[in-house]
């Protein structure tokens, strides 16, 4: 099966054919210097003809100008091939970079694929590919050298074979150092990003210098590997350059010997020296750029593996906007890159207008559950459905428009307040932005900012307080009136006014027929819920109407289900099976829910 990278390169097939044709013409034009010298020594000097010298000089100047123009055009086409490759797969690579942390914990620098793409584009836009295009034309120069004289041809061929051997040695000796240097650079860049993101913690606790020592050690390992690769490449490059110069002088000496013996002319001697140097020039250039070639090849391999791991998904049929139910069918969830289930066999159904509160002790799986509800983490087992359609049956944009999500760790993006609320929609409805802000009770707060909705908030929302970031993130979750709104600890940074606005926003979603799921540790966030789900050790402990669940969990765990509470699902502490009916209040392990820490 053809990879996405190969398809992107195949789209440039016509450009590569054009480069190949231009390379052929350029290499024929490279004979201009040899032929000019041949004519000067064998025709102009014996005849002492000034007009002949002027004529062949003008002709050579025209050919040189044509050669320069073709070479410039060839390099420009190569640079545009690099841009075409970027345009063809750049969006796919970015999407894979963003999706990769949701499937597995990234090792080292998560932006390495973008650097690999830059490496490929940079290599295609440089002189390295021109050497690869010129290499097939080496036999032409060798054949001409043999036509001059067999001994000249043998000398040039021997030099070419030695340089080809140098190329093979370069390949074998630089591959491992370049790969190791790339790994060390990835680790160093990852540490740099961690330090940048946690600058406040490092400064507040005097960790900057100590963490800098860790970074310095990673940087030292990287520079050592880079230096090793550079030393090998530069050394072999210098040897190849010296060998080419020595071969040129050798051919000149062989030609002089043939001239003395009367087997060649002075023009052939000079022309053969120039041709032999030209025959070896592509090999020398390839060796000089071999480090970049190896890095580009390794980047190509890594990008291919990444794109195969995240294939382009087919576009499913557009479904109507959801408006009826959210169904969770016995889902089990594991964190990305792990096989340990943190949520096991949780299932429930919510209908339009209902609000579910999810409670439980820390580490019980609440946040993991809501990540599966919004499609951030893929369930290991089970399905999440909106109006009967599983998440994978929805078009990506349609599903995103139907879901509003406020994560526990609020993250805003560099841009204006309006752009963040509108989820960076390229052409948002300004009325929808204001409606979302009013629904979140943040409209007046935004207007109080220096430039209102056009206020730049800086990277991560650095220009705003934690409470302001959380309220603007709530408006972002409500933008476009999504059917399912999931709020994870939505009041962790809110004051009394913020909590009142939050409860009003939840009531507004319910009033328009949406579904709200709230994870909270504080009672105030649960004022608007009508359904309660209790998590413990990754399992569903209880689910049903809020009042009935609270009454049931307030009793000893083994007490019988009260009358009218048949729709309340209460599992035992580990969720294996419900308590036995009629068990006494003094049953072993029976404790009030508050003592167990199940409720806020």
pLDDT digits (tens, 9 = 90+) for 265-276: 888 888 888 888
Contacts of residue 234, defined as CB under 8 A and 6 or more positions apart, other chains included, come to: none
User: 3-state SS of 104-147?
Assistant: CCCCCCCCHHHHHHHHHHHHHCCCHHHHHHHHHHHHHHHHHHHH
Q: CA geometry: angle at 444 spanning 438 and 448, to 5°?
A: 145
pLDDT for position 390: 93
Partners of residue 515 on adjacent β-strands: 484
- Per-residue pLDDT for 562 more than 50? no
CA-CA distance, 239 to 243, in Å (whole number)? 6
pLDDT for position 337: 76
What 3-state DSSP class applies to 204?
helix
The overall average pLDDT reported for the chain is 83
Summary count for the chain: helices (H), strands (E) = 22, 11
pLDDT for position 568: 54
- Per-residue pLDDT for 564 more than 90? no
* DSSP track, 334-373: --TT----SEEEEEEEEETT-EEEEE-STTSSHHHHHHHH
Q: What is the b/e burial string over 50-60, where b = at least 16 CB atoms within 10 angstroms of the residue's CB? A: eeebeebeeeb
> Exposed, middle or buried: residue 231 (CB in 10 Å: 0-12, 13-18, 19+)?
exposed
52-56, 311-315, 490-494: which has the minimum mean pLDDT? 311-315
Higher-pLDDT residue of 472 and 590 is 472
CA-CA distance, 307 to 274, in Å (whole number)? 47
pLDDT for position 598: 56
Q: Which stretch, 53-57, 101-105, 246-250, has highest mean pLDDT? A: 53-57
* Nearest alpha carbon to residue 463 among 449, 447, 442, 477: 449
156-160, 351-355, 370-374, 514-518: which has the minimum mean pLDDT? 156-160
Partners of residue 404 on adjacent β-strands: 485
- Per-residue pLDDT for 260 more than 70? yes
pLDDT confidence bin for 567, thresholds 50/70/90: low
Share of the chain above pLDDT 90, in %: 28
In degrees rounded to 5, what are phi and psi of residue 319?
A: -100, 155
State the Rg of the chain over Cα: 36
18-22, 77-81, 196-200, 214-218: which has the minimum mean pLDDT? 196-200
Q: Return the H-helix or E-strand segment holding 200.
A: helix 199-204
Pairing of strands 325-333, 343-351: antiparallel
pLDDT for position 579: 38
227-231, 442-446, 580-584: which has the minimum mean pLDDT? 580-584
Q: Is the dihedral of CA 101, 105, 111, 112 positive or negative?
A: negative
- Per-residue pLDDT for 597 more than 60? no
- Whether the model clears a pTM of 0.85, i.e. scores above it, the answer is no
Torsion angle, CA of 546/549/553/559, rounded to 10 degrees?
Answer: 150
User: 3-state SS of 391-419?
Assistant: HHHCCHHHHHHHEEEECCCCCCCCCEHHH
Q: At what angle do helices 13-29 and 50-103 cross, to 10 degrees?
A: 150
Residue 80 backbone zone (phi > 0: left; psi -120 to 50: alpha; other: beta): alpha
- Per-residue pLDDT for 302 more than 90? no
């Amino acid at each position: 099966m053809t990879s996405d990278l190969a398809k992107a390169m195949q789209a440039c097939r016509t450009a590569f054919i054009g480069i190949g044709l231009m390379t052929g013409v350029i290499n024929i034009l490279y004979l201009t210097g040899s032929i000019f010298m041949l004519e000067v020594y064998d025709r102009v000097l014996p005849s002492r003809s000034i007009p002949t010298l002027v004529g062949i000089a003008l002709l050579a100047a025209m050919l040189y100008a044509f050669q320069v123009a073709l070479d410039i055009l060839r390099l420009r086409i190569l640079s545009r091939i690099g841009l075409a490759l970027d345009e063809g797969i750049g969006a796919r690579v970015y999407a894979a970079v963003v999706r990769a942390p949701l499937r597995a914990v990234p090792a080292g620098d998560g932006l390495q694929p973008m650097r690999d793409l830059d490496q490929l584009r940079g290599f295609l836009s440089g002189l390295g590919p021109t050497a690869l295009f010129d290499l097939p034309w080496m036999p032409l120069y060798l054949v001409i050298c043999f036509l001059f004289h067999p001994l000249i041809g043998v000398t040039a061929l021997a030099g070419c074979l030695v340089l080809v051997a140098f190329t093979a040695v370069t390949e074998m000796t630089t591959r491992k150092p370049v790969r190791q240097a790339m790994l060390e650079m990835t680790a160093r860049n990852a540490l740099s990003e961690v330090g940048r993101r946690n600058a406040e913690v490092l400064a507040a606790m005097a960790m900057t210098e100590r963490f800098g020592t860790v970074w310095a050690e990673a940087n030292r390992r990287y520079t050592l590997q880079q230096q090793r690769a550079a030393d090998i490449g530069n050394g072999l490059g210098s040897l190849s350059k010296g060998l080419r110069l020595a071969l040129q002088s050798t051919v000149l000496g062989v030609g002089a010997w043939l001239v003395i013996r009367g087997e060649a002319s002075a023009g052939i001697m000079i022309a053969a020296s120039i041709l032999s140097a030209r025959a070896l020039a592509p090999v020398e250039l390839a060796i000089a750029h071999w480090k970049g070639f190896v890095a580009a090849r390794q980047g190509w391999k890594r990008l291919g593996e990444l794109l195969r791991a995240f294939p382009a998904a087919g576009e499913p049929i557009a479904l109507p906007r959801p408006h009826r139910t959210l169904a969770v069918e016995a889902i089990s969830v594991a964190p990305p890159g792990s096989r340990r289930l943190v949520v096991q066999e949780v299932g429930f159904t919510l209908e339009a207008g209902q609000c579910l509160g999810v409670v439980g002790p820390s580490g019980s799986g609440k946040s993991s559950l809501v990540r599966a509800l919004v499609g951030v983490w893929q369930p290991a087992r089970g399905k999440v459905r909106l109006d009967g359609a599983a998440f994978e049956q929805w078009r990506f944009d349609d599903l995103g428009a139907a879901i509003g999500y406020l994560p526990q760790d609020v993250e805003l993006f560099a841009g204006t307040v309006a752009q963040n609320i509108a989820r960076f929609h390229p052409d948002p409805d300004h009325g929808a932005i204001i409606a979302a802000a009013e629904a979140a009770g943040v409209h007046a707060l935004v207007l109080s900012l220096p430039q209102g909705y056009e206020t730049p908030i800086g990277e991560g929302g650095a220009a705003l307080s934690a409470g302001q970031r959380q309220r603007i993130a709530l408006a972002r979750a409500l933008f476009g009136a999504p059917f399912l709104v999931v709020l994870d600890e939505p009041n962790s940074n809110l004051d009394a006014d913020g909590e009142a606005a939050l409860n009003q926003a939840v009531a507004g979603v319910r009033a328009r027929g949406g579904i709200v799921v709230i994870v909270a540790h504080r009672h105030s966030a649960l004022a608007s819920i009508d359904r309660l789900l209790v998590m413990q050790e990754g399992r569903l402990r209880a689910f049903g109407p809020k009042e009935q669940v609270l009454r049931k969990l307030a009793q000893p765990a083994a007490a019988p289900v009260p009358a009218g509470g048949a729709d309340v699902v209460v599992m035992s502490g580990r969720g294996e099976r419900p308590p036995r009916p009629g068990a006494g209040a003094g049953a072993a392990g029976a404790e009030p829910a508050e003592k167990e820490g199940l409720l806020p």
